[in-house]
């Protein structure tokens, strides 16, 4: 197979920066009083900053005047100079302190909102997503809120306020040419910065895309560590990751090179503007229309303007980068969940948990049907088993009942209520499921057990563990209930994980139980013990058992035999055996396989 080539073609974004900035405002609104106070501090700091060159002009002119005045006026002006410097620093720090709560609360709210939204998205989205890429996009996106707020309040607004104050000073005291050159230089600088930065953004988009892709590949490789080792494909994983990083490297080099062009252009524009202004000011001093103090003040004002303006170029680039990162998050928030509560959806009414699949059709893709005209009922308190070969559509029944997907034809009813008319929360609270592939949190065994019902007491949790035949195992571990299970529960065996899942389902105390190959990873001895437990747990519940091993369903009230998404046979275990159809053939095959497995060790021992 040919390795997949990572495209480095530029991706043109359809981002809506102003819309995203507007969408960010609600996250800042909670502390709007603090935001206003921070803006007041910002203005006061800028007023003090612009006042420094004015006082400096008075000091220089005083030293240039009569010698008798130098002992009085410079002293008061020097004190004013120091007070303005102190005031500028004080108000800047007050602004930072007051605004800190606003910024970090916005990050917290957005992070929580994104995680909440991810939980509302459908199973289809989570099956298709790349965990590493989503994690990196989420991290960059929420951090971008802090970046934008930080730069807007601490860099952009101060410069704008200072520009306004300097405009008042220059237009009020000097010839219009000074204001014209100052703001003309600033306008050229800003236009040049914007134009070059927009051109550079394509490289940044590619860097972000490749960074997320590389992170996703690294995550996949580590999550599937055992598979990588089984096939000895460490080299292939490293080569795949390195190809992505090589493409990222190319984009990073281009981005850095173009930044050098931008920085040089910005420096040249500022140098030209400052030189022109100093030439005009020096000519005015020689002509007697300006004093030496005026020359010093104009120079100081220019330095105070152009030094932050130089940083404004960097700030603009960072804001553009942050907007690109933020766009990923807001696009995610705009993604509509495939399964959502209808307007006016009601809670599942109290009942005994009777289930009806009424002429149900379903497909994941229109061109490939999964279920075809399924029609059956599970009476309250009874157990229905569904058996069949792999790919028959058995596990899809559990996903539809849990409403991970909506049916594409027919309907599913619980106690007479269509699932689509119910709230998802009330529906899922009524169903306990033991999946075929149990995934645990990287926390303690106790945490994972308590997850079934967070309000449960410790004795209730221990009782559930005992019923699932896992309590003795847990208490025999060095760390007991606080034993960490590892990423996805990999420190536990398949059977141990399934027993944790069974205990969680018991602890949840649901109206309906679903066992999806619940004992598939257990040895025969443990399976027999847990089968008795499951029978006890299911005694007063409506239960759907999805199984491949027919020995686990012989006590079911009714058994459905599925093939290619259709019901081929149904009845009790005895009725289906007597019918001599698909079920009888599967039973005979599994009985012969079980006998062969039992005899095999004996034959081996005889050979020895």
CA distance 509 to 457: 14
**214, 212, 6, 444: which is closest to 222 by C-alpha?**
214
42 phi and psi, to 5 degrees? -60, -50
What does the pLDDT read at residue 356?
93
Give me the mean pLDDT over the 581-608 stretch. Answer: 65
Residue with tokens 């959806």: 345
pLDDT given for residue 413 in this prediction: 93
Report the distance separating Cα 566 and Cα 386, nearest Å.
Answer: 11
CA 181, CA 188: separation in Å to the nearest integer?
A: 10
Distance CA(115)–CA(365), nearest Å, equals 28
205 confidence band (pLDDT: 50, 70, 90):
confident
> What's the CA gap between 168 and 531, in Å, rounded?
86
The secondary element (H helix, E strand) that includes residue 418 is strand 417-418
User: 237-273: string of b/e by CB count within 10 Å (b at 16+)?
Assistant: beebbebbbebbeebbebbeebbeebeebbeebbeeb
Dihedral (CA of 62, 64, 67, 68) sign: negative
Tens digit of pLDDT for each residue in 145-155?
A: 778 877 777 77
Tell me the pLDDT tens digit for each residue of 558-567: 999 998 889 9
The pLDDT value recorded for residue 418 is: 92
pLDDT of residue 61: 75
Mean pLDDT score of the chain: 81
Which neighbouring-strand residues pair with 444? Answer: 484
Q: What are phi and psi of 485, to 5 degrees?
A: -90, -10
Per the listing, tokens 């933020």 go with 326
**Rounded CA gap, 243 and 3, in Å?**
10
Beta bridge partners of 383: 543
Please give the span between the terminal C-alpha atoms of the chain, in angstroms, as a whole number.
45
Q: How far is CA 56 from the centre of its chain?
A: 52
Reported as a single tens digit per residue, the pLDDT across 343-372 is 888 998 888 888 999 999 998 888 888 899
Q: What pLDDT band is residue 12 in, cutting at 50, 70 and 90? A: very low
Distance CA 411, CA 361 (A): 9
Distance CA(133)–CA(154), nearest Å, equals: 31
Quick check: 400 and 123 in contact, CB under 8 A? no
Q: How remote is the C-alpha of 105 from its chain's centroid? A: 17
pLDDT tens for 503-514 read 888 888 888 999
Of 603, 577, 602, 601, give the one whose Cα is nearest residue 590.
577
* HSE value, Cβ hemisphere, 13 Å, CA-based, for 423: 8
pTM for this predicted structure: 0.65
Candidate from 21-30, 186-195, 387-396, 579-588 with smallest mean pLDDT: 21-30
* Domains in the chain, CATH or no CATH each: 17-334 (1.20.1560.10), 354-430+510-572 (3.40.50.300), 441-505 (no CATH)
| Separation of alpha carbons 230 and 423, rounded Å | 44
């Amino acid at each position: 197979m040919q390795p997949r080539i990572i495209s480095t073609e530029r991706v043109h974004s359809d981002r809506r920066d102003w819309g995203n900035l507007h969408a960010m405002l609600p996250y800042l609104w909670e502390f709007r009083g603090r935001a206003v106070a921070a803006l007041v501090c910002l203005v006061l700091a800028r007023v003090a900053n612009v006042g420094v060159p004015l006082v400096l002009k008075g000091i220089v002119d005083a030293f240039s005047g009569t010698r008798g005045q130098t002992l009085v006026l410079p002293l008061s002006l020097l004190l004013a100079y120091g007070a303005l410097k102190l005031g500028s620093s004080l108000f800047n720090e007050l602004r930072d302190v007051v605004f800190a709560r606003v910024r970090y609360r916005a990050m917290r709210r957005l992070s929580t909102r994104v995680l909440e939204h991810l939980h509302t998205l459908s199973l289809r989205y989570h099956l298709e997503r790349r965990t590493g890429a989503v994690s990196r996009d989420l991290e960059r996106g929420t951090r971008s809120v802090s970046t934008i707020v930080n730069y807007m309040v601490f860099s952009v607004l101060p410069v704008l306020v200072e520009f306004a104050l300097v405009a008042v000073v220059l237009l009020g005291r000097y010839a219009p040419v000074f204001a014209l050159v100052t703001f003309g230089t600033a306008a050229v600088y800003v236009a040049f910065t914007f134009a070059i930065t927009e051109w550079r953004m394509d490289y940044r988009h590619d860097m972000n895309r490749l960074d997320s892709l590389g992170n996703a590949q690294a995550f996949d490789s580590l999550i599937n560590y055992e598979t990588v080792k089984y096939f000895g494909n460490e080299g292939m994983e490293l080569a795949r990751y390195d190809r992505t990083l090589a493409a990222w490297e190319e984009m990073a080099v281009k981005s850095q090179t173009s930044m050098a062009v931008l920085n040089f252009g910005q420096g040249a524009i500022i140098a030209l503007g400052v030189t022109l202004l100093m030439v005009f000011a020096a000519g005015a001093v020689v002509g007697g229309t300006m004093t030496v103090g005026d020359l010093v003040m104009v120079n100081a004002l220019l330095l105070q303007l152009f030094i932050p303006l130089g940083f404004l170029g960097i700030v603009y680039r960072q804001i553009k980068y942050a907007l690109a990162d933020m766009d990923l998050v807001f696009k995610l928030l705009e993604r509509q969940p495939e399964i959502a509560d209808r307007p006016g959806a009601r809670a599942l009414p109290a009942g005994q948990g009777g289930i009806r699949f009424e002429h149900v059709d379903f497909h994941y893709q229109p061109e490939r049907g999964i279920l075809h005209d399924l029609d059956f009922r599970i009476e309250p308190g009874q157990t229905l088993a569904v058996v069949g070969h792999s790919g028959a559509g058995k596990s899809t029944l559990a996903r539809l009942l849990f409403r991970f997907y909506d049916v594409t034809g027919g309907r599913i009813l619980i106690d007479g209520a269509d699932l689509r008319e119910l709230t998802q929360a009330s529906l899922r609270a009524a169903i306990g499921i033991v999946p075929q592939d149990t995934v645990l949190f990287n926390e303690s065994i106790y945490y994972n057990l308590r997850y079934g019902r967070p309000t449960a007491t410790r004795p209730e949790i221990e009782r559930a563990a005992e019923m699932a035949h896992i309590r003795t195992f847990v208490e025999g571990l060095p760390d007991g209930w606080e034993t960490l299970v590892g990423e996805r529960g990999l420190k536990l065996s398949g059977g141990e994980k399934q027993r944790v899942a069974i205990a969680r389902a018991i602890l949840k105390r649901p109206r309906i139980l679903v066992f999806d190959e619940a004992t598939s990873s257990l040895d025969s001895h443990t399976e027999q013990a847990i089968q008795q437990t499951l029978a006890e747990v299911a005694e007063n519940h409506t239960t759907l058992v999805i199984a491949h091993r027919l020995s686990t369903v012989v006590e079911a009230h009714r058994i459905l035999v599925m093939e290619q998404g259709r019901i081929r046979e149904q009845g009790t275990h005895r009725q289906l055996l007597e019918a001599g159809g698909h079920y009888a053939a599967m039973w005979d095959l599994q009985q012969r396989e079980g006998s062969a497995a039992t005899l095999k060790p004996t034959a081996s021992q005889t050979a020895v």
